[in-house]
Copies of this chain bind each other. A is one copy, B any other.
Amino acid sequence: MKAILIIADGLGGRPTDLGGATCLERAHTPNLDRLAAQGALGLMDPIRPGVRPGSDTSHLSIFGYDPFQVYTGRGAFEALGIGMEVRGGDVCFRANFATVEERDGELIVVDRRAGRLAEGKELEGAINGIDLSDLGVEFSFRASTEHRGALVLRGEDLSAAVSDTDPHETGVPIAQARALEESQAARRTAEILNAFTRRAYEVLKGHPVNRRRAEQEKPPGNALLLRGAAVMPHLTPVTEEYGVRGACIAGGALYKGVARAAGLEVLVVPGATGDLKTDLAAKAKAALDALSDYDFLFVHIKGPDNASHDRDAEAKKGFIERIDREFFGTLLGGLDLSRVHLCFSGDHTTPPATGEHTADPVPVLFCGPAIRPDRTDRFSERAAGEGGLGRFSGRLVPQLLSYCDFGPKFGA
- Chain A residues close to B by CB (< 8 Å): 14-16, 22, 40, 42-43, 45, 47-58, 64, 67, 71, 73-74, 351, 354, 356-361, 369-375, 381-382, 385-393, 395, 397-403, 405, 407-412
Contacts and interface: CB of A to CB of B under 8 A. Distances in A.
B15 A412 contact: no
A410 B372 contact: no
12 contacts: A15-B373, A43-B389, A49-B399, A51-B410, A52-B408, A73-B412, A351-B370, A359-B398, A360-B402, A382-B388, A386-B386, A391-B391
Contacts of A52: 402, 407-410
The complex is assembled from copies of this chain, and their number is 2
A189 to B, nearest CB: 21
A392 B45 contact: yes
Contacts of A40: 385
Contacts of A373: 15, 382
Nearest to A20: B373
A64 B50 contact: yes
A350 to B, nearest CB: 11
A54 B412 contact: yes
Contacts of A58: 411
Contacts of A57: 410-411
Contacts of A385: 40, 372, 374, 387-390
A48 B372 contact: no
A64 B370 CA distance: 28
A36 to B, nearest CB: 14
B67 A392 contact: no
Contacts of A55: 411-412
A175 B289 CA distance: 48
B359 A402 contact: yes
Given A385-B388, A388-B386, A356 B405 contact: yes
